[in-house]
Amino acid sequence: MFCKSVLDNGIRVVSHEMSDHRSVSLGIWVESGSRHESQAQNGISHFIEHLLFKGTERRTAAQIAEEMDAVGGVLNAFTAKEHTCYYAKVLDENLPLALDLLTDIFLHSNFDVEEIERERSVILQEISQAEDTPDDYVHDLFNVDFFTDHPIARPICGRAETVMSFQRQDFLNFFKERYRPRRVVVAAAGHLRHDELVKEIQARLGSVRDERGAAAALDGDRLPGMGSGLYPHAKELEQVHLCLGMAAISQTHPQRYAGYVLNTLLGGGMSSRLFQEVREKRGKAYSVYSFASSYKDVGYFGVYAGTSLDSTDEVVDLILKELDKLAAGGISADELGRTQGQLVGSMMLGLESSDSWMSHIARNEIYFGKNVTTDEIVQKIRAVSREDVIELARQLFHSGGMTLTLLGDFQKDFKLDSFTLKH
DSSP 34-83: GGG--GGGTTHHHHHHHHTTS-BSS--HHHHHHHHHTTT-EEEEEE-SS-
Backbone angles phi, psi at 164, to 5 degrees: -70, -20
Domain-ending residue, one of 173, 205, 237: 205
Give the least confident one: 220-229, 272-281, 317-326: 220-229
Burial profile 351-363: b = 16 or more Cβ within 10 angstroms, e = fewer:
eebbbebbbbbbb
- Average pLDDT value over all residues in the chain: 94
Residues 410 and 298 in one domain: yes
Residues 157 and 285 in one domain: no
236: helix, strand or coil = coil
Residue 276 in any domain: the answer is yes
The H or E element that residue 294 is part of is: strand 288-294
pLDDT digits (tens, 9 = 90+) for 280-321: 999 999 999 999 999 999 999 999 999 999 999 999 999 999
Query: pLDDT exceeding 90 applies to what percent of the chain?
Result: 89
Structural domain span for residue 109: 2-205
pLDDT of residue 180: 94
Residues 237 and 197 in one domain: no
Q: Is the pLDDT of residue 404 over 90?
A: yes
Residue 281 in any domain: the answer is yes
Distance CA 344, CA 336 (A): 12
Residue of 289, 292, 293 whose CA lies nearest to 278:
289
Q: What angle do CA 406, 408, 413 make, to 5 degrees?
A: 80
pLDDT of residue 148: 83
Backbone angles phi, psi at 322, to 5 degrees: -65, -40
- Kindly report the pTM of this predicted structure: 0.93
Domain-ending residue, one of 145, 171, 205: 205
- DSSP per position, 342-382: HHHHHHHHHTSSHHHHHHHHHHHHHHHSS---HHHHHHHHH
Residues 407 and 348 in one domain: yes
Residues 288 and 340 sit within 8 Å (Cβ to Cβ): no
Number of domains in the chain: 2
Residue 210 in any domain: the answer is no
Residues 235 and 349 in one domain: yes
Residues 201 and 240 in one domain: no
Q: Is the pLDDT of residue 112 over 90?
A: yes
Domain-ending residue, one of 154, 171, 205: 205
Residue 212 in any domain: the answer is no
pLDDT of residue 401: 87
Residue 100 in any domain: the answer is yes
pLDDT digits (tens, 9 = 90+) for 314-344: 999 999 999 999 999 989 999 999 999 999 9
Residue 222 in any domain: the answer is no
Residues 176 and 253 in one domain: no
Residue of 103, 89, 101, 100 whose CA lies nearest to 191:
89
Distance CA 77, CA 313 (A): 40
Residues 167 and 279 in one domain: no
Residues 11 and 169 sit within 8 Å (Cβ to Cβ): no
Q: How far is CA 179 from CA 182, 205, 210, 224, in A?
A: 9, 12, 9, 23
The active-site residue out of 49, 119, 200, 365 is 49
Q: Specify the CATH number for the domain of residue 63.
A: 3.30.830.10
Residue 248 per-residue DSSP state: -
pLDDT of residue 418: 67
pLDDT digits (tens, 9 = 90+) for 347-383: 999 999 999 999 999 999 999 999 999 999 999 999 9
Q: How far is CA 175 from CA 149, 168, 170, 316, 378, in A?
A: 24, 11, 8, 44, 39
Residues 193 and 96 in one domain: yes
Burial profile 252-261: b = 16 or more Cβ within 10 angstroms, e = fewer:
ebebbbbbbb
Q: Which amino acid is at 368?
A: F
Distance CA 323, CA 328 (A): 9
Q: Is 49 part of the annotated catalytic residue set?
A: yes
Q: Which amino acid is at 404?
A: L
pLDDT digits (tens, 9 = 90+) for 172-214: 999 999 999 999 999 999 999 999 999 999 999 999 988 665 5
Q: Is the pLDDT of residue 421 over 70?
A: no
Close Cβ partners of 316 (under 8 Å, ≥ 6 residues apart): 242, 244, 404, 416, 418, 419
Residue 323 in any domain: the answer is yes
Residue 217 per-residue DSSP state: P
Residues 80 and 116 in one domain: yes
Residue 45 in any domain: the answer is yes
Residues 194 and 277 in one domain: no
Residues 239 and 327 in one domain: yes
